Amino acid sequence: MSNGLIPVALKHCPDYTYSSVLAAVQTCLQAIHFSPSAGAKVLVKPNLLKADSTGLCCTSPVVVEAVCECLLEYGCTVTVGDSPAFGSAASVARSIGLTEGLERLGVPLITLDSPACVTFASGNSIGISRSALESDLLVNVPRMKAHTQMRATFAVKNLFGCVSGVRKAIAHSTHGDKANAFRELLVDVALALPESVSVVDGITCMHKTGPSGGEPYSLGLIGAAGDPVSLDTALYSVLGCTVDEMPLWGELQRKNVRGAFQEQLEYVLATPQEFDAEGFILPFHLIPETFHPIRLIRSGLKRFWKRYLCP
C-alpha cells in the first residue's frame, strides 16, 4: 500500500451457502490486491486436524473449495495439503466432506510429508514438508478456534501443519516446557515458509475449548490478508483480546514481527468492530504447551495405526 499499511479484508458471510462463500472469498482477495502469476504452483493449507463427524475442528470444506476455485480462476496450479494429527489428509477430507468438492475441481490432495530440516536464526530446527517449501505460494486457510494452550489460534498456528508428521508432537515435548520456546518455534515456521496469503473461515467458529471438542459459535466472517500475522492481529481485535491474554500474539510483538501491531493495518472492507463476538468464550486457564512422553508415544502409535493399518 502507498501509505505503508498492510491491507486486511474482513467481510460478513452469514452461512456456508457456496455461492455466498465464493463471492466473499473473491471480494476479500481482490480487496487485498491479490494477483498471483498464471501457472503459479500453489499449496492450499487448510486445517485438517483429524477425522471428525461434525467437521468443526477443521476448516469448512465449502471454504476450502471456494478458495481453490478462486485460485483456478487466476490460472494457478492448485494442490491441497496438510499433515493431520491423526491419519492422512485423505482420510480427514473424506470424514468432513471435502473430497467431493476437490474432485469436482480436479484439485489433488496430499499429506504433507517428505520433510526437509530447516534451521532458523533462533537456533531452532524442524522438518518441514518439501511440498510446502517448494511451492510458489501458500494459501493458508485456517478456522477460527479457541485453543487450550494458546487461548485462540488462527493463521500463524495453522502453518505449523506444514511440519511433517509426528515432528509436531515431538516439538511440543521438547519445547513446550521452556519459556516462550514453543511459541517462538511457531513464529519461526510461519516466517520460514514461502510467500503466503491467508483466508480465514470465521463463519462458524469453535469456542469454549479447542483445538477440538469445542462448541460452534456463529460469527459470520470471511477474512484475508497477505500474511498470517496481520490477519491474526485483526482477528484478535474482532474478539476484543489484549496482547497480554494471547501468548502467540505476545511472542509476535516480542519479536517485532511486521503485522503484529494494530497501527500497521488498514481495514479495506469491514472493521473488527462491525462483528459481534460478545458471546465468544475463550479458555480461561491454559494448559502447558508440552506433551508428556506417554502422550507422545500414544500419539505416535495412533498416527501409525490410522495412517498405515486402517482402510
| Residue-range domains of the chain with CATH | 9-302 (3.40.50)
Residue 296 confidence (pLDDT):
45
Which pLDDT band holds residue 306 (cuts at 50, 70, 90)?
very low
For the whole model, what pTM was predicted? 0.91
Residues 203 and 277: beta-carbon distance below 8 Å:
no
Burial, 263: exposed, middle or buried (Cβ in 10 Å; 0-12, 13-18, 19+)? exposed
Residue 174 confidence (pLDDT):
62
Q: Report how far residue 122's alpha carbon sits from residue 129's, in angstroms, rounded to the nearest whole number.
A: 20
Question: In this structure, what C-alpha cell is assigned to residue 80?
Answer: 491441497
pLDDT over 70 percentage in the chain:
88
Residue 86 confidence (pLDDT):
79
Residues 223 and 31: beta-carbon distance below 8 Å:
no
Residues 126 and 189: beta-carbon distance below 8 Å:
yes
Q: pLDDT for 134-178, tens place per residue? A: 999 999 999 999 999 999 999 999 999 999 877 666 765 565 445
Beta bridge partners of residue 206, listed in sequence order: 145, 216
Query: Nearest-CA neighbor of 136 among 190, 194, 81?
Result: 194
Residues 239 and 207: beta-carbon distance below 8 Å:
no
Residue 53 confidence (pLDDT):
82
- Cα within 13 Å of Cα(216), Cβ side: 12
Q: pLDDT for 246-283, tens place per residue? A: 999 999 999 999 999 999 999 999 999 999 999 999 99
**Position with higher pLDDT, 288 vs 15:** 15
Q: pLDDT for 219-249, tens place per residue? A: 999 999 999 999 999 999 999 999 999 999 9
For 75, phi then psi, to 5°, come to 90, 15
Q: What is the total residue count of the chain?
A: 311
Residues 6 and 258: beta-carbon distance below 8 Å:
yes
Residue 308 confidence (pLDDT):
38
Residue 3 confidence (pLDDT):
86
Which pLDDT band holds residue 218 (cuts at 50, 70, 90)?
very high
**Position with higher pLDDT, 204 vs 294:** 204
pLDDT at 117 over 90: yes
Residues 157 and 246: beta-carbon distance below 8 Å:
no
The residue whose grid cell reads 497501527 is: 263
- The CB density around residue 269, as the number of other CB atoms within 10 Å, is 20
Query: Nearest-CA neighbor of 153 among 25, 282, 263, 264?
Result: 282
Contacts of 124 (CB under 8 A, 6+ apart): 175, 181, 184, 185, 188
